[in-house]
Amino acid sequence: MKKSLRSLLLATALVSISYSAAFAEMIYNRGNSADPETLDPHKTSTVYEAHILRDLFSGLVMQDAKADVIPGAAESWKISDDGTVYTFNLRKGATWSNGDPVTADDFVYSFRRLEDPATAAEYASMMYVIKNGQEVNEGKMKPDELAVKAVDANTFEVTLKSPTPYFLEMLTHQANYPVHKASLEKLGADWIKPGNLVSNGAYTLAEFVPNDHIKLVKNPKFYEADQVKVDTVNYFPTEDRSTAIKRFEAGELDSNDDMPLEQLTELKAKFGDQVHIGPYLGTYYYAVKTDKEPWSNPKLRRAISMAIDRDFIAEKVWGNSMIPGYSMVPPGIAGYEPAIADYAEMSQIDREDEAKKILTELGYGPDKPLKLEIRYNTSENHKNTAVAIQEQLKPLGIEVTMVNTDTKTHYGFLEQKGDYDLARAAWIADYKDPETFLGITRKASGNNYSNYNSPKYEELMDKAAAAGGNPAERSKLLSQAERVLVDDLGNIPLLYYSYHNLVSPKLKGFEDNVMDVHPTRFISKE
Instruction: List per-residue pLDDT tens for the chain, 526 residues long.
Output: 434 444 444 444 444 434 344 458 999 999 999 999 999 999 998 999 999 999 999 999 999 999 999 999 999 999 999 999 999 999 999 999 999 999 999 999 999 999 999 999 999 999 999 999 999 999 999 999 999 999 999 999 999 999 998 999 999 999 999 999 999 999 999 999 999 999 999 999 999 999 999 999 999 999 999 999 999 999 999 999 999 999 999 999 999 999 998 899 999 999 999 999 998 999 999 999 999 999 999 999 999 999 999 999 999 999 999 999 999 999 989 899 999 999 999 999 999 999 999 999 999 988 899 999 999 999 999 999 999 999 999 999 999 999 999 999 999 999 999 999 999 999 999 999 999 999 999 999 999 999 999 999 999 999 999 998 899 999 999 999 999 999 999 999 999 999 999 999 999 999 999 999 999 999 999 9
Render pLDDT for 19-35 as a digit per residue (tens, 0 to 9): 344 458 999 999 999 99
- The CATH homologous superfamily to which domain 280-498 belongs is Dipeptide-binding Protein; Domain 3 (3.10.105.10)
Whole-prediction pTM: 0.85
CA distance 121 to 114: 6
CA distance 525 to 339: 43
Task: State the first-to-last Cα distance of the chain, in angstroms, to the nearest integer.
Answer: 40
- Provide the CB-side half-sphere exposure for 164 (13 A, CA): 27
Beta-strand pair 85-90/74-79: antiparallel
CA distance 77 to 86: 7
CA distance 379 to 242: 9
State the amino acid at position 482 in one-letter form.
E
Secondary structure of the chain: what % helix, strand, coil (to 5)?
A: 40, 20, 40
DSSP state of 224: T
Whose CA is closest to 510, among 490, 496, 524? 524
> Which pLDDT does position 366 carry in this prediction?
81
Beta-strand pair 370-377/422-428: parallel
Residue 79 contacts residue 86 (beta carbons within 8 Å):
yes
> Which pLDDT does position 11 carry in this prediction?
44
* CB neighbour class for 351 (10 Å; exposed up to 12, middle 13-18, buried from 19): buried
Residue 28 contacts residue 507 (beta carbons within 8 Å):
yes
> Which pLDDT does position 23 carry in this prediction?
58
Q: What is the CATH number of domain 27-228+504-525?
A: 3.90.76.10
Cis peptide before 237 (omega within 30 of 0): no
Question: Strand, helix or coil at 330?
Answer: coil
Measuring CA to CA, how many Å separate 518 from each of 62, 290, 408?
A: 11, 36, 22
Please write down the HEC assignment for all residues of 15-79: HHHHHHHHCCCCEEEEEECCCCCCCCHHHCCCHHHHHHHHHHCCCCEEECCCCCEEECCEEEEEE
Domain segments of the chain as ranges: 27-228+504-525, 280-498
Q: Which residues pair with 400 in a beta bridge?
A: 372
366 Cβ partners below 8 Å, 6+ apart?
397
- Beta strand residue intervals within 196-309, DSSP E: 203-209, 213-218, 232-237, 255-256, 275-288
CA distance 142 to 386: 45
